[in-house]
Amino acid sequence: MAAPLSFAFRSAIEGMIMFRNSLLLASASLLAACVSAPDAPEAPAGPVSFPLVSAAGDMPGFFDCLRENDAVIISGHRGGPVPGYPENALETFAHTVSEVPALLEVDVQKSADGVLVLMHDDTLARTTDGEGEVRGMTFERLRELFLVDNDGTLTQFRIPTLTDTLSWSEGRALLALDRKAETTYEDLVDAVRTQNAFARVVFATYSLEDAALVYRLAPEAMIVTPIEKLEDLATLREAGVDLSHILSWGGTEVPNPDFYAALAAEGVESAFAPLGWWTGSWDSRIRMLGDDTLYRRITQGVQLVATDRVREVAAVLPGVARAKACVTP
C-alpha cells in the first residue's frame, strides 16, 4: 500500500501546485486586461496615521475633497482585525486607526431586548466564547461574553453597542454601518441621529431602493450603494436623492476605472473592495502573488478601498497621504 499512497499524495500535491499557478496566472492576466494605465509612482513605506475627521464638516464634502485631491481612504473590513484584536471591537478600532487613517466598517445586529450591538454573524460561536443566536440573547447576557480573534484566540474584549461605538468615533474615526439580521435602516438612522453623528457615518445599502429609503429617513446621510450603470443615477434623482450623498459601490470582482471616471464627472465618488479571505478575492490573490503594489492598479480612480489588509494597502497607495488635505488639522 505504500507505493499507491505515495503516488496519490504526490498527485494531490502536483494538482494543488498546478491550481495555484493557474490562479496566479489568471490574476496577472486580469490585472493587465482590466487596467491599462501605467503604475503609480513609488509610495512611501506607509502613511503616518491621522484622525479622519471631515474638514468640510459633513461626509459629502469630505468625499468631494477626496475626489478633487486624487486622494483615497482605506475601509477596514469589520474594523481591521489582526491577531489579538477581534473583529467589531472598540479596542480593535483604536488599534487600527493608531496605525492607518482608516474608515471602519462595522456590522450591526439587535439583541433580544432591542439593543444595537456590533456582530457580523447571526450566531456567536465563531467570534465569542458563547453560543446561540445574537437576537436570542439580552444585551446583559451578550455583555458577559468575551470576543475571540480570527485565529480563535480568546481576548478580554467585550461586545460593544452601536451607541458606544458612535460615541467613541467622535474626533477619532469615520464609520460605515452595515445592517445585519433584523436590524433596520430606521434603527441605524435613529441611533446616528441621537448621537448627532451623520458627519462621521456612511450607511451601507444593497439596492437603489434601500438608498432612496435611507435618504428619505435622513437627507443628511452619506450612502454607499451599488451603481451598475449611469442610468442608475437617473433612478436615484427621480427618487429625490441628492447625488452628492451617494458613494458608488463597485463590488469585489472587476475594477472599472473608466466607469469610475464617468461617475466622477457626475460628481459621484466610487468604492472598490478587494476584501475577502477566500482564494478568489483580490486580497488573497495579491497576497499569493507577493506584490502589494498591484493594489495601485486595481484601485485607480476610486476614493475608498475596502480591504482585510488595511496596513498593506495603505502602505502602497500614495492617495492615502493626500487624504490629509480633507481632514481637520
Contact (CB, 8 A) for 104 and 75 = yes
Distance (Å, whole) CA 85 – CA 98: 13
Radius of gyration of the chain from Cα atoms? 21
29, part of any domain: no
Provide the domain limits for residue 205: 35-326
Q: What angle do CA 40, 277, 92 make, to 5 degrees?
A: 85
91, part of any domain: yes
140, part of any domain: yes
Distance (Å, whole) CA 47 – CA 321: 6
Q: What angle do CA 309, 127, 133 make, to 5 degrees?
A: 135
Average pLDDT, the chain: 89
Hey, which residues does 102 pair with through a beta bridge? Answer: 74
Predicted pLDDT of residue 114: 97
For the stretch 198-236, pLDDT in tens is: 999 999 999 999 999 999 999 999 999 999 999 999 999
Predicted pLDDT of residue 1: 38
Predicted pLDDT of residue 278: 86
Predicted pLDDT of residue 39: 45
27, part of any domain: no
Q: At 8, list the grid cell.
A: 496519490
Q: At 148, list the grid cell.
A: 475571540
Predicted pLDDT of residue 329: 81
pTM for the whole thing? 0.87
1, part of any domain: no
Predicted pLDDT of residue 16: 39
18, part of any domain: no
26, part of any domain: no
The CATH number of the domain where 308 resides is what? Answer: 3.20.20.190
What's the number of domains the chain is made of? 1
Q: Which residues of the chain have pLDDT under 70?
A: 1-47
| 3-state SS record for the chain | CHHHHHHHHHHHHHHHHHHHHHHHHHHHHHHHHHCCCCCCCCCCCCCCCCCCCECCCCHHHHHHHHHHCCCCEEEEHHHCCECCECCCCHHHHHHHHHHCCEEEEEEEEECCCCCEEECCCCECCCCECCCCEHHHCCHHHHCCCCEECCCCCECCCCCCEHHHHHHHHCCCCCEEEEECCCCCHHHHHHHHHHCCCHHHEEEECCCHHHHHHHHHHCCCCEEEEECCCCHHHHHHHHCCCCHHHEEEECCCCCCCHHHHHHHHHCCCEEEECCCCCCCCCHHHHHHHHCCCCHHHHHCCCCCEEEECCHHHHHHHCCHHHHHHHHECC
84, part of any domain: yes
